[in-house]
Structure 1
Amino acid sequence: MKNSKRIAKWVGMLYIIGTISGILSVVFTGSILGSTDLFMTVSANENHVILGVFFILIMGISLGMVAVIIYPIAKKYNETLALGYVVFRGALENFTYIAYAISLLLLVVFSKEYVNAASLDGTSFQSMRNILLDSGEQIQSLSTIIFSVGALMLYYLLYQTKLIPKWLSSWGLIAAIIYLVTGVFALFGPTLTVLMMPLAIQEMVMAVWLIIVGFNSTAKVIDKQTIPSL
């Protein structure tokens, strides 16, 4: 019981750390990446971009650790979903965060070359700018999809076992579906970021719940027959 409470508090705190880090990464890089003269802006704000990368990695580590820490509890109820959550949230999602961080660091490298170049080949730098920005956007979309699949596994498990109140896990399931659809559409064009807010808010509410209340000690094991076939 005490171990379950401790795990719940750690999960809640890691959710909050991950979310705050994600917000800070946008604060430091958002306006820079939207600049019309990208390489000059990145060069002038190199430290901001590097800080943004740092917070992206902190976010990835924090959220990845959620899957690892919650696994001992989750596997008692359904090992398949627990392991799937570790794979998607702990491994695949972190891979996309690292890839996105690398794309930002490459922007820093090319911005230095752009500023120091004696004779600028505008076409080449413009092409590289487009490649880095487009690849970064696609990586973020892929990360959204992977994140959503992992979230659906977790919230389905939480809903079936009643480890948290059903209203909270139901909110997570619905919000994760919206998040997933948003990620898929983002692969093909701009989407409304407001559609991602329901899940972000739900995670913060759940984080506070876990820190204060913890997991339900009377949660039940999932009958294997209730798990959808893939």
Structure 2
Amino acid sequence: MLRKSTNAGRRSATMTGVLLIAGLITGLFSVVPVIDGADYLVMASSNENQVLLGAFFQLLMIVAYVGIPILMYPLLSKHHKSLALGSVAFGIIAGVFIILGVIILLLLLSASQEFAKVGTLYAMYFQTLGELLREGRDLVNHVATTLAFVLAMFLFNYIFYRTTLVPRWLSVWGLIGSTSSILASLLFMIRFIGLDTTYMMLNIPIAFQQLVLAIWLIIRGFNPTEQDSVTN
């Protein structure tokens, strides 16, 4: 029985590590430069494939964002059920916001295509609509989605810290990185910072922690002396 539980924990660790890396990769490929440029209304329709590819990879992010907390739940719930359930809830919320972000991205593409048809006749209308859609997409992607997933990360890193399923230096790094990323999203939400160097620097700690955690889980797995113990 103990061997079966240990083997299950090892598989869970490996799959979680793979999903963490997949989340980072799909996140990078979901970036759509033409939407972020000043002439996005002109460029989006002429670079339709780039926009659609970005939407595709953004949808793939759901597998990681929702899958990681669900995959971790059976193990983490043994140690702290309410926090493990909270991480699953935040992961699902992040998945919903990802879908919303994709919808807004596709609406931006449609607006660009319509703008290409009418030319400058309704330029002011399309510019206003485009800016509203783009601002909404930024808030969904960089505030709502990020906050939901990072809160899920914060919760299971806290469980890691309490249980030493992974080394404490790694879970502490995750807690600090999660807090830094939450701060970045909140500062962006109140327009204190933009999608600039400061925003990126505040998000770098959690990105690298996810990468290191993924590698650790794939190579080493969870601490075998802790994964079968239960704390109240």
Q: TM-score w.r.t. structure 1 length?
A: 0.91
User: Which residue type is aligned with residue 54 of structure 1?
Assistant: F
Equivalent residue for 1:204, pick from 196, 211, 222: 211
Give yes or no for contact 1:25–1:56 (8 Å, CA) kept in 2. Answer: yes
Distance 2:101 2:27 in 1: 13
Which secondary structure state, in structure 2, belongs to the residue aligned with residue 93 of structure 1? helix
Q: Which runs of 5+ in 1 are unaligned?
A: 224-230
Question: Is contact 1:85-1:150 (8 Å) kept?
Answer: yes
Cα separation, 1, equivalents of 2:144 and 2:8: 35
1:113 is aligned to 114
Superposed CA offset, 1:134-168 (max 9, x none): 10111121222222221111111010011101010
Distance 2:130 2:16 in 1: 38
Which secondary structure state, in structure 1, belongs to the residue aligned with residue 37 of structure 2? coil
> What residue is the counterpart of 1:228 in the other structure?
none
Report the equivalent of 2:26: 21
Count of matched residue positions in the alignment of Structure 1 and Structure 2: 219
8 A contact 2:115–2:123 mirrored in 1: no
Are 1:7 and 2:9 an aligned pair? no
**Equivalent-residue separation in structure 2 for 1:144 and 1:34 (angstroms):** 18
Alignment of 1:1-230 (within 5 A): 1-26=6-31, 29=32, 31-89=33-91, 91-117=92-118, 120-140=121-141, 141-189=143-191, 190=194, 191-219=198-226, 220-223=229-232
Distance (whole Å) between structure 1 residues aligned to residue 70 and residue 153 of structure 2 = 14
What's the CA shift for 1:195?
Answer: 1.0
Alpha-carbon contact 1:9-1:211 (below 8 Å) kept? yes
TM-score by structure 2 length? 0.91
Gaps of 5+ in 2: 1-5
Distance 1:73 1:200 in 2: 23
CA distance in 1, matches of 2:120, 2:152: 48
Q: Distance in 1 between matches of 2:166 and 2:153?
A: 14
Moved over 6 A (4+): none
Q: CA RMSD in A?
A: 1.3
Work out the CA distance in 2 between the residues paired with 1:36 and 1:142.
24
Secondary structure at the residue paired with 1:221? coil
Q: Could you tell me how far apart the structure 2 residues matched to 1:119 and 1:178 are?
A: 43
Secondary structure of the equivalent of 2:74? helix
DSSP-derived class of the 1:9 partner? helix
Question: SS of 1:76's equivalent?
Answer: coil
The one-letter code matched in structure 1 to 2:65 is L
Partners of 2:138 and 2:209 in 1: CA distance: 24
